[in-house]
Amino acid sequence: MTTIPMETGLLLAGVLFMLGLISVMIRRNIIFMLISVEIMLNAAGLAFIVAGNHWAQPDGQIMFIFILTMAAAEVSVGLALILQIHHQLKTLNSDAANFMKG
Amino acid sequence: MGELLWLIPALPFAGALLLVLFGNRVSRALVSAIGVGSVGISAAVTLVLGIQYLSSRPAFIRQEVWQWFDVAGFSPSIAFHLDALSMVFIFVITFVGFLIHIYSTEYMAEDKDYARFFACMNLFVGSMLMLVMADNLLLLYLGWEGVGLCSYLLIGFWYKEPANGYAARKAFIITRVGDTAMAIGLFMLFQHFGTLHIQSISTEAAQVWSIGNETALIIALLLLGGAVGKSGQLPLQTWLPDAMAGPTPVSALIHAATMVTAGVYLIARMHVVFELAPAAMMAVAVIGAVTLLIAGFAALTQYDIKRVLAYSTISQVGYMFLALGVGAWSSGVFHFMIHGFFKALLFLCAGAIILALHHEQDMRKMGGLSKKLPVVFYTFLIGAASLAAFPLVSAGFYSKDQILWLQLAGENGNIWLYLAGLLGAFITSIYTFRMVFLTFYGEEKTHVGHKPTLAITVPLVILAVLSFAGGFIELPHNFGHVVLFSDFLAPILPAVTMVPDFNQYEWMLQLLAAVISLGGIFIAYLFYYKKPELIDSIHRSETTMAIHRFWHSGWGFDQLYDTLFVRPYVYLSKVNKSDFIDSIYTFIANATQGLHQLFARTQTGVMRNYVAGVVVGAIMILTISLLL
């Protein structure tokens, strides 16, 4: 079995993270923003796996399980907020929820 | 025997407190009962104490009511001190004050602020009593300031007229100039003696300082500053004529019993310090002499009857200063007492006239009142005779003659002071009888409305008797030789050192004073009764009219102070309207406000902007941590 070099794995994680970050910033639809955050979380998780593999340690995989758990909790809170925003504003555009300015 | 002492000032204070708290809710009769009664009982207590004092003749009676405070070894007490000097003052304040209060019940009967008037009057009498009874200078200063406050309240009593408020502020501010000097004097006294107790200072000062000591001189001059302010002497005399804005009983109280004589009391009380500073004594005498002349000439040209009396007060207090300045302490206090009687009488008479003529104060519109207001006429005549020092029968003759005599016979006097006093006496009798002839003789010009009743006439008659008979308790050496008054004061106030072998001239000087007084009356008779056309000829000349206007304005002191102090001050405050110092602090506040607005703009409420902000921040931190 050929091993994937660590640089490749970390590069993939970095690219995924940047993609997620950019789409959080440019997306207006709040569901897409939530998905982008999930992508960023998974990018971070991938980085842990790669690092764990590199040093042959189980810690990386344990961290990934933690991230998954945390992401599940985060998504439930996030979806509840999205439901509330949709209920209040009848839209999913995040820019419409700008009452707390200045 | 001193247990009752605290009641004398406490009663008027209690009256004032009751009237302030409940005055507007109770009937006028009750207000009069409280207002007049408190001073009346105070006078009765004074009488009881006075009889006890005269029968046992202790050096002094002291009563400590409680300790005021105790800070770093300075522990003044609320304590009252009764000796011959304060006895004379208390007597005049309570009795003349009581008569003025009785008079006020009729004079102010129509006023809607009846209770406020009596509350202020009681407070005034109470403060003045505290001033003269205080056993330490701090308590004296409390009374001193209380008197200043009450003068403000009462001069501006009819506060709806802006001019009255102006006069009240003027009186308060100008006397404050003197008060500040006096406060500094008290600080210096405390610095040197570690106490403000009058007795201790008097005994220690004579031991610590030799005659002509520089510190004693400075302190004496500072105390003189306070006395000059309160007593309306040069150069702080300008408030007194304007103080006529208040109701007439207030003028009587200010001029006869309270306030104006506070300065005389202060100098007499602190005479030990003044004796150690001969230059300050000379300053007292010169101020007195100049003031009595300036005020006398100003009184000659006034038409408002109350202003004539105001200037005559300045002038008569000038005589008291003249006496104090040559060390004739008891003569100064004697003249104070006699002046208290006749000036209260004259003011109350003037008030009765003003009331009768529907608040007309211009003497040119008066005349022929001798038939219409006989009681007022005869009592006024007695008061005027006393003021003009009518020979032999008036009290004023004996008190003033003594002062003039001691200018030559006393060691510290000199011929110039005597001549100033003599010229002043001449002018006094001219303007006094000018007032009499203009007001009571000639044809009637204004209809007499209100006839005075008992509440006005009884005080007038009592005061007239006192102004007539008061002089007989002190008669000159060559004429009866009665020295009851100076004997009474002798334990407190030292006698004048006389020039040797001068007594044989006394009758000549008395004759001269008598001739001067009668001559003044004759001139007034000639100009204002017999040949009024002489006045017209004076009024036609341009030079004399210029002098007339100058004197009428009180020697231009108001204009002078206006140019010297008021206008530069107003100009400065106009220039610095926005307050230069304050702008530093407003700058700090404005900068904070600006930054706040700048940063508040980043709070857009758009979530994506916040995300971008987080990203930028994270990149910056990463970059910095990588570079360093």
pLDDT in tens, A39-94: 999 999 999 999 998 888 899 999 999 999 999 999 999 999 999 989 988 888 88
Examine the pLDDT at B273 and tell me if it is beyond 70.
Answer: yes
Examine the pLDDT at B57 and tell me if it is beyond 80.
Answer: no
B602 touches chain A (CB under 8 A): no
Mutation site, A19, A89, A91, A98, interface B, largest B CB count within 10 A: A98
| B-chain residues near A26 (CB < 8 A) | 608
pLDDT of residue B601: 85
Residue of A nearest to B609 (CA): A25
Q: Please report, rounded to a whole number, the percentage of residues in chain B having pLDDT higher than 70.
A: 99
pLDDT in tens, B274-320: 888 888 888 888 888 888 888 888 888 888 888 888 888 888 888 88
If DSSP codes are grouped into helix, strand and coil, which group holds residue A93? strand
Q: Do B608 and A28 touch (CB under 8 A)?
A: yes
pLDDT in tens, B450-508: 777 788 888 888 888 888 887 777 777 666 677 777 777 777 777 777 777 777 777 78
The beta-carbon neighbor of B605 closest among A25, A26, A98 is A98
A21 touches chain B (CB under 8 A): yes
Residue B278, preceding peptide bond in cis (omega within 30° of 0): no
Cα–Cα distance between B574 and B563 in angstroms, integer? 16
Longest dimension (CA), chain B: 116
Examine the pLDDT at B2 and tell me if it is beyond 70.
Answer: no
Determine the average pLDDT of the residues in B28-42.
87
Is there a contact between B101 and B117 (Cβ–Cβ < 8 Å)?
Answer: no
Residue of B nearest to A95 (CA): B606
The pLDDT mean for chain A works out to 89
Cα–Cα distance between B122 and B154 in angstroms, integer? 11
Examine the pLDDT at B30 and tell me if it is beyond 90.
Answer: no
Cα–Cα distance between B133 and A44 in angstroms, integer? 93
Cα–Cα distance between B60 and B67 in angstroms, integer? 20
pLDDT of residue B616: 93
**Contact pairs from chain A to chain B, CB under 8 Å:** 33
Determine the average pLDDT of the residues in B181-206.
85
A28 touches chain B (CB under 8 A): yes
B607 touches chain A (CB under 8 A): yes
Determine the average pLDDT of the residues in B110-131.
87
* DSSP H or E stretch at residue B395: helix B395-409
- B359 Cβ contact partners less than 8 Å away, ≥ 6 residues apart: none
B25 touches chain A (CB under 8 A): no
Residue B194 φ/ψ region, left for φ over 0, alpha for ψ in the -120 to 50 degree band, beta for the rest: left
Q: Do B607 and A101 touch (CB under 8 A)?
A: no
Residue of A nearest to B604 (CA): A101
Task: Match 């529907």 to its residue by tokens.
Answer: B358
A24 touches chain B (CB under 8 A): yes
Cα–Cα distance between B229 and B58 in angstroms, integer? 34
Residue of A nearest to B602 (CA): A102
Q: Do B603 and A26 touch (CB under 8 A)?
A: no
Helix B329-356, helix B305-325: angle, nearest 10: 180
Is there a contact between B258 and B314 (Cβ–Cβ < 8 Å)?
Answer: no
| Torsion (CA) B240, B183, B154, B263 in degrees, nearest 10 | -50
Helix B374-387, helix B329-356: angle, nearest 10: 150
A85 touches chain B (CB under 8 A): no
Which residues is A29 bridged to in the sheet? A93
Is there a contact between B383 and B255 (Cβ–Cβ < 8 Å)?
Answer: no
pLDDT in tens, B380-400: 888 888 888 888 777 778 888
Residue A1 is classified by DSSP as: -
Q: State the amino acid at position A53 in one-letter form.
A: N
Q: What Cα–Cα distance (Å) separates residue B354 from each residue in B358, B374, B387?
A: 6, 15, 20
Q: Do A98 and B600 touch (CB under 8 A)?
A: no
Which residues is B62 bridged to in the sheet? B81
pTM of the model: 0.78
pLDDT of residue B588: 94
A36 touches chain B (CB under 8 A): no
Identify the band that residue A2 occupies on the pLDDT scale cut at 50, 70 and 90.
low
The beta-carbon neighbor of A25 closest among B600, B604, B615 is B615
Is there a contact between B363 and B305 (Cβ–Cβ < 8 Å)?
Answer: yes
Nearest to B395 by CA among B311, B339, B312, B331: B339
Q: State the amino acid at position B552 in one-letter form.
A: H
Cα–Cα distance between B316 and B366 in angstroms, integer? 25
Is there a contact between B144 and B128 (Cβ–Cβ < 8 Å)?
Answer: no
Helix B84-107, helix B114-133: angle, nearest 10: 170
A58 touches chain B (CB under 8 A): no
Identify the band that residue B592 occupies on the pLDDT scale cut at 50, 70 and 90.
very high
A19 touches chain B (CB under 8 A): no
pLDDT of residue A102: 62
pLDDT of residue A38: 92
pLDDT in tens, B202-261: 888 888 887 878 888 888 889 888 888 888 888 888 888 888 888 888 888 888 777 888
Task: Match 């910056």 to its residue by tokens.
Answer: B620
pLDDT in tens, A23-32: 998 888 989 9
Q: Residue B458 corresponds to which tokens in the numbers above?
A: 């009884």
| B-chain residues near A31 (CB < 8 A) | none
Examine the pLDDT at A1 and tell me if it is beyond 60.
Answer: no
| B-chain residues near A101 (CB < 8 A) | 603-606
The pLDDT mean for chain B works out to 84
Q: Distance from B68 to chain A by nearest Cα, in Å?
A: 59
Q: Do A97 and B611 touch (CB under 8 A)?
A: no
Cα–Cα distance between B214 and B224 in angstroms, integer? 15
Q: Distance from A1 to chain B by nearest Cα, in Å?
A: 36
Q: Distance from B628 to chain A by nearest Cα, in Å?
A: 23
Supply the DSSP string of B214-277, one letter for each residue. Answer: HHHHHHHHHHHHHHHHHHT-TTSTTHHHHGGGS-HHHHHIIIIISGGGHHHHHHHHTHHHHHT-
Nearest to B239 by CA among B217, B222, B255: B255
| B-chain residues near A97 (CB < 8 A) | 605, 607
Q: Do A24 and B608 touch (CB under 8 A)?
A: yes
Q: Please report, rounded to a whole number, the percentage of residues in chain B having pLDDT higher than 90.
A: 5
B606 touches chain A (CB under 8 A): yes
Nearest to B125 by CA among B89, B159, B157, B156: B89
A101 touches chain B (CB under 8 A): yes
Determine the average pLDDT of the residues in B87-92.
87
Nearest to B103 by CA among B282, B302, B345, B266: B345
Buried b (16+ CB within 10 A) or exposed e, A42-66: bbbbbbbebbbeeeeeeebeebbee
Determine the average pLDDT of the residues in B113-126.
88
pLDDT of residue A46: 92
Determine the average pLDDT of the residues in B79-103.
87
